[in-house]
């Protein structure tokens, strides 16, 4: 929805709207990298889930506070926390589900 917001509300071209999303898009793999490092070294899966969800909530709240005519830096910086949180939550969810179920029957299910 953000590219449409940038194009329709702010009157930017598609190229400008896409360029605005480059920096926040980099935050998603950074969040995944942070999650991978923390999980492999210390575990802390529940903490990662909570931190990622909190970042997503903060980032989405900041985006909701954007005005029609706001400081240009806000359109870049305020999108960063939600994408960083998304990068943290998705791998943490995956490994939470993997850890929640027993693995004994998985080999027989995969070989069928």
Predicted confidence band of residue 30 (pLDDT cuts 50, 70, 90): very high
Q: Above 90 in pLDDT, residue 86?
A: yes
Residue 106 lies in a domain: no
* Residue 105: pLDDT over 80: no
Whether 91 shows a pLDDT value over 80: the answer reads: yes
Q: Is residue 110 part of a domain?
A: no
Does any domain span residue 112? no
- Domain-located, residue 94: yes
The number of folded domains in the chain is 1
Question: Among all chains, which residue has been given the structure tokens 């709240």?
Answer: 61
Does residue 66 have a pLDDT over 90? no
pLDDT at 100 over 60: yes
Q: Name the residue range of residue 48's domain.
A: 2-101
Angle 97-103-107 from CA coordinates, rounded to 5°: 120
C-alpha to C-alpha distances, 79 to 33, 37, 104, nearest whole angstrom? 18, 23, 42
* 36 within some domain: yes
Q: Is residue 63 domain-resident?
A: yes
- Residue 107: inside a domain, yes or no? no
List, for residues 43-57, the tens digit of each pLDDT value: 888 899 999 999 999
Question: How many Å separate Cα 1 from the centre of its chain?
Answer: 15
> Among the listed ranges 31-40, 51-60, 79-88, 94-103, which one has the minimum average pLDDT value?
94-103
Residue 19 forms part of a structural domain:
yes
């Amino acid at each position: 929805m953000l590219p449409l917001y940038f194009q329709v509300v702010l009157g930017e071209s598609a190229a400008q709207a896409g360029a605005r999303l480059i920096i926040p898009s980099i935050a998603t793999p950074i969040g995944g990298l942070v999650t991978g490092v923390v999980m492999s070294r210390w575990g802390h899966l529940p903490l990662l889930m909570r931190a990622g969800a909190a970042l997503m909530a903060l980032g989405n709240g900041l985006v909701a506070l954007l005005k029609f005519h706001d400081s240009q830096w806000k359109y870049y910086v305020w999108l960063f926390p939600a994408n960083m949180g998304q990068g943290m939550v998705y791998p943490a969810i995956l490994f939470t589900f993997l850890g929640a179920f027993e693995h004994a029957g998985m080999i027989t299910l995969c070989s069928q």
